[in-house]
């Protein structure tokens, strides 16, 4: 009788602590592609610091030599998501390859005398920033899974800020671009690049690019983390920068 | 004889059902705020059917979810604030504002001991204060608009702290993490009732008749079937008259439909009148709201929002209602309000 009672209490505790909701994702291996450069560092930090596990995801990192190979693997279903170059991704989307942007990554800022003289140096670097893509469909595109992936990358951003030398990233040297991180997919930044590359064709609807940027998932992930840590300064800073549709309703009034 | 009566009754019932089945349908999304209650009045009083439209109402727990449903064409109409449709439109989504459901409604709450310090009818009391808010909520946008109108450089003279939800703002005010907080119905009433906080000001005191939740619909659908949308708005115009002239029954309908405390609904709707249920499109208000968003730096690029506002369908709906009751005072007031605000 006592054993039964203890077992019941243990099972109830397990359910209440939230171990169960993550179990389905934990069982499934999530394959995340990345480039071996500084821009993909948030993915590597999330793995190193256990942030994917914190979000209930079991992740295997898959290294790629270039974005084209990574995007092809994403299209073929060999990986579930990938952190690749934004310029390559935008061009692929314009060609009808239905990738979605779910999170940001490394952004490059030009330094040195040439950068000061020629704005094209920075423009080129803007296209070499890193963003995280998912395919349009597939088991890994379920909203909850993508929200957890994004939340883990936001956590990784926090770790990178608290511990800048967390990875031996090898960034230094005169005239080398500076990498800073931003986990947001930020629609308006992507829109600027989209326009600069003149990728909008007359046949595309006006919201073609917006349909490929899941900014609301980033907002959901941020909200979720902020609910747990409302006083976290880094999360507040990210929230202040994000352009999210505001929450409207008393939680207990949601019938659906 | 009894058989004949039963037969006639059955026939008339079938005819009613058949008539409803033939009506054009509109799937309408809303969020559970008291001032959205015109939908329930129009439904419960039979105005939708009388005007010739079969409306099905769907409640949503967040504006983002509602807008996503509208974009996915699971809805034909939605009322999900002002910010949400503006953001979607500015990113290329082809929605059109055709009306409104709520005007005003935002309040600034504080702890009772801070009330005296924030009293009076001058926004200068907020200089140097720390204000909690939900970024891009109506209160955030309109309060900043009011501060700017009052000549206060809010980027330098007021500190804003952003939270993820109205509940988090209430909590921050209660804990003293901020001096005051901007929230909307029914949050400030709940904060007063359950948390002992006080409303320092309603933003309406500084910025009369500002826009809150707007009615939007996919532009293609609006253009393809203007008549159905006119009927829909005509029913809401009649519901507005009912709400203005039948307090007790309106409170009962709102309470039953939204499952919010009757006292809160009566207080917000008829006693303090903190928000108004009003179907007017308020075109000028939408354009001002968009400008406030740009001024605050929330969106980097301007967008031709005016191309996404259709005030003609509402005007046609109002004209059709006035034609049936030309001397009705409420409808004449609505017409004057329309002329002033559009």
What pLDDT digit, counting tens, does each position of A217-248 carry?
A: 999 999 899 888 888 889 988 988 888 888 76
Between B187-195 and B166-175, two packed helices, what is the crossing angle to 10 degrees?
A: 40
Indicate the range of A87-96, A102-111, B147-156, B322-331 predicted with least confidence.
A102-111
**CA of A255 vs chain B CAs: smallest distance (Å):** 7
Query: How far apart, in whole angstroms, are the C-alpha atoms of residue B37 and residue B254?
Result: 5
* Contacts with B162 from chain A: Cβ below 8 Å: 236, 239-240
Nearest to A247 among B140, B161, B165 (CB): B165
Tokens in use for B46?
A: 């039979």
A231 or A8: which carries more pLDDT confidence?
A: A231
What pLDDT digit, counting tens, does each position of A61-101 carry?
A: 999 999 999 999 999 999 999 999 999 999 999 999 989 99
Nearest residue to B41 (alpha-carbon basis) of B240, B247, B278, B324: B240
Please count the residue pairs, one from chain A and one from chain B, whose beta carbons lie less than 8 angstroms apart: 120
Residues 188-227 of B with CB under 8 A from A: 190
**CA of B240 vs chain A CAs: smallest distance (Å):** 23
User: Does A111 have pLDDT greater than 50?
Assistant: yes
Is B136 in contact with A244 (Cβ distance < 8 A)? Answer: yes
Confidence label for B121 from pLDDT (cuts 50, 70 and 90) = confident
Is A251 in contact with B167 (Cβ distance < 8 A)? Answer: yes
Query: How far apart, in whole angstroms, are the C-alpha atoms of residue A22 and residue A148?
Result: 10
User: Does B90 have pLDDT greater than 70?
Assistant: yes
Predicted local distance difference test score (pLDDT) of residue A15: 38
A21 or B299: which carries more pLDDT confidence?
A: B299
Q: CB–CB of B97/B284 below 8 Å? A: no
Predicted local distance difference test score (pLDDT) of residue A170: 53
Query: What ipTM is given for this predicted complex?
Result: 0.80
Residue whose entry in the numeric block shows the structure tokens 């004449």: B332
Indicate the range of A2-16, A49-63, B108-122 predicted with least confidence.
A2-16
Is B136 in contact with A227 (Cβ distance < 8 A)? Answer: no
Query: Within a 10 A sphere around the Cβ of B52, how many other Cβ atoms?
Result: 17
User: Does A130 have pLDDT greater than 70?
Assistant: yes
Predicted local distance difference test score (pLDDT) of residue A168: 58
Residue range B149-157: mean pLDDT, rounded: 95
**Average pLDDT in chain A:** 82
Predicted local distance difference test score (pLDDT) of residue B280: 98
B108 or A4: which carries more pLDDT confidence?
A: B108
Nearest to A239 among B59, B164, B186 (CB): B164
Share of residues in chain A with pLDDT > 90 (%): 51
Nearest residue to A216 (alpha-carbon basis) of A100, A126, A99, A46: A100
CB within 8 Å of A126: residues ≥ 6 apart: A86, A87, A107, A108, A193, A196
* Contacts with B141 from chain A: Cβ below 8 Å: none
Confidence label for B33 from pLDDT (cuts 50, 70 and 90) = confident
User: Does B30 have pLDDT greater than 90?
Assistant: yes
Query: Within a 10 A sphere around the Cβ of B7, how many other Cβ atoms?
Result: 10
Predicted local distance difference test score (pLDDT) of residue A153: 96
Bridge partner list, B26: B55
Residue whose entry in the numeric block shows the structure tokens 């009672």: A5
Query: How far apart, in whole angstroms, are the C-alpha atoms of residue A43 and residue B322?
Result: 63
CB within 8 Å of A136: residues ≥ 6 apart: A98, A99, A100
Between B83-90 and B63-71, two packed helices, what is the crossing angle to 10 degrees?
A: 40
**Average pLDDT in chain B:** 91
Give me the domains of chain B, ranges plus CATH numbers: 2-104+212-341 (3.40.190.10), 107-205 (3.40.190.10)
Nearest to A223 among B59, B60, B164 (CB): B164
| Chain centre to alpha carbon of residue B159 | 28
Indicate the range of A108-112, A135-139, B132-136, B231-235 predicted with least confidence.
A108-112
* Contacts with B257 from chain A: Cβ below 8 Å: none
Tokens in use for A236?
A: 């507040």
Among positive and negative, which fits the CA dihedral B78, B80, B85, B87?
negative
Residue range B189-203: mean pLDDT, rounded: 93
Is B166 in contact with A247 (Cβ distance < 8 A)? Answer: yes
Give me the domains of chain A, ranges plus CATH numbers: 24-244 (3.40.190.10)
CB within 8 Å of A65: residues ≥ 6 apart: A35, A36
B95 touches chain A (CB under 8 A): no
User: Does A172 have pLDDT greater than 90?
Assistant: no
Query: How far apart, in whole angstroms, are the C-alpha atoms of residue B277 and residue B272?
Result: 14
Predicted local distance difference test score (pLDDT) of residue B240: 97
Give the SS3 label for residue A20: helix
Query: How far apart, in whole angstroms, are the C-alpha atoms of residue B323 and residue B228?
Result: 18
Is A251 in contact with B258 (Cβ distance < 8 A)? Answer: no
Confidence label for A173 from pLDDT (cuts 50, 70 and 90) = low
**CA of B151 vs chain A CAs: smallest distance (Å):** 24
DSSP B112: G
Query: How far apart, in whole angstroms, are the C-alpha atoms of residue B296 and residue B292?
Result: 6
Predicted local distance difference test score (pLDDT) of residue B149: 93
Residue range B61-68: mean pLDDT, rounded: 88
Residue range B261-274: mean pLDDT, rounded: 87
Residue range A132-157: mean pLDDT, rounded: 90
Query: How far apart, in whole angstroms, are the C-alpha atoms of residue B185 and residue B212?
Result: 11
Nearest to B31 among A206, A236, A248 (CB): A248
Residue range B304-308: mean pLDDT, rounded: 97
């Amino acid at each position: 009788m006592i054993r039964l009672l203890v077992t019941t209490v243990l099972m109830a505790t397990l359910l209440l602590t939230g171990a169960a909701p993550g179990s389905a994702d934990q069982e499934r291996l999530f394959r995340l592609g990345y480039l071996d450069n500084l821009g993909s560092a948030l993915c590597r930090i999330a793995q190193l610091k256990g942030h994917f596990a914190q979000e209930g995801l079991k992740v295997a990192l898959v290294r790629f030599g270039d974005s084209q190979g990574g995007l092809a693997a994403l299209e073929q279903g060999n990986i579930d998501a990938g952190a690749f170059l934004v310029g390559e991704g935008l061009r692929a989307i314009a060609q009808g390859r239905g990738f979605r942007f779910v999170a940001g990554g490394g952004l490059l800022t030009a330094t040195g005398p040439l950068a000061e003289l020629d704005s094209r140096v920075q423009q080129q670097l803007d296209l070499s920033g890193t963003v995280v893509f998912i395919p349009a469909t597939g088991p890994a595109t379920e909203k909850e899974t993508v929200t957890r992936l994004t939340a883990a990358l936001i956590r990784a951003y926090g770790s990178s800020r608290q511990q800048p030398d967390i990875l031996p990233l090898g960034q230094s040297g005169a005239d080398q671009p500076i990498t800073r991180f931003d986990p947001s997919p930020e629609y308006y930044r992507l829109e600027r690049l989209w326009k600069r590359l003149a990728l909008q064709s007359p046949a595309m609807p006006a919201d073609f690019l917006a349909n490929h940027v899941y900014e609301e998932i980033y907002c959901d992930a941020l909200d979720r983390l902020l609910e747990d840590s409302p006083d976290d300064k880094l999360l507040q800073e990210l929230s202040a920068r994000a352009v999210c549709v505001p929450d409207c309703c008393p939680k207990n009034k949601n019938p659906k | 004889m009894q058989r004949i009566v039963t037969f006639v009754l059955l026939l008339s019932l079938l005819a009613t059902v058949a008539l409803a089945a033939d009506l054009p349908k509109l799937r309408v999304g809303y969020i559970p705020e008291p001032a959205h209650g015109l939908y329930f009045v129009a439904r419960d009083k039979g105005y939708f059917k009388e005007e010739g439209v079969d409306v099905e109402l769907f409640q949503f727990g967040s504006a983002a979810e509602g807008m996503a449903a509208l974009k996915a064409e699971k809805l034909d109409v939605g009322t999900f604030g002002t910010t949400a449709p503006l953001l979607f439109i500015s990113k290329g989504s082809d929605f059109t504002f055709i009306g409104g459901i709520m005007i005003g409604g935002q309040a600034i709450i504080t702890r009772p001991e801070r009330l005296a310090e924030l009293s009076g009818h001058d926004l200068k009391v907020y200089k140097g204060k720390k204000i909690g808010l939900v970024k891009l909520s109506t209160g955030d946008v309109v309060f900043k608009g009011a501060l700017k109108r009052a000549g206060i450089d809010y980027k330098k003279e007021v500190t804003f702290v952003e939270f993820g939800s109205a509940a988090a703002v209430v909590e921050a005010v209660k804990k003293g993490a901020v001096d005051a907080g901007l929230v909307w119905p029914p949050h400030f009433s709940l904060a007063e009732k359950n948390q002992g906080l006080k409303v320092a000001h309603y933003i309406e005191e500084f910025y009369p008749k500002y826009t809150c939740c707007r009615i939007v619909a996919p532009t293609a659908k609006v253009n393809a079937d203007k008549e159905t949308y006119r009927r829909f708005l005509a029913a809401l115009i009649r519901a507005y008259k009912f709400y203005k002239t039948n307090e007790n029954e309106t409170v009962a309908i709102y309470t039953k439909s939204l499952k919010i405390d009757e006292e809160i609904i009566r207080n917000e709707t008829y006693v303090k009148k903190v928000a108004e249920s009003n179907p007017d499109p308020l075109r000028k208000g939408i354009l001002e709201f968009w400008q406030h968003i740009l001024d605050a730096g929330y969106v980097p690029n301007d967008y031709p929002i005016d191309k996404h506002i259709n005030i003609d369908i509402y005007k046609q709906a109002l004209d059709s209602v006035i034609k049936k009751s030309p001397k009705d005072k409420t409808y004449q007031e609505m017409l004057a309000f329309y002329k002033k605000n559009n």
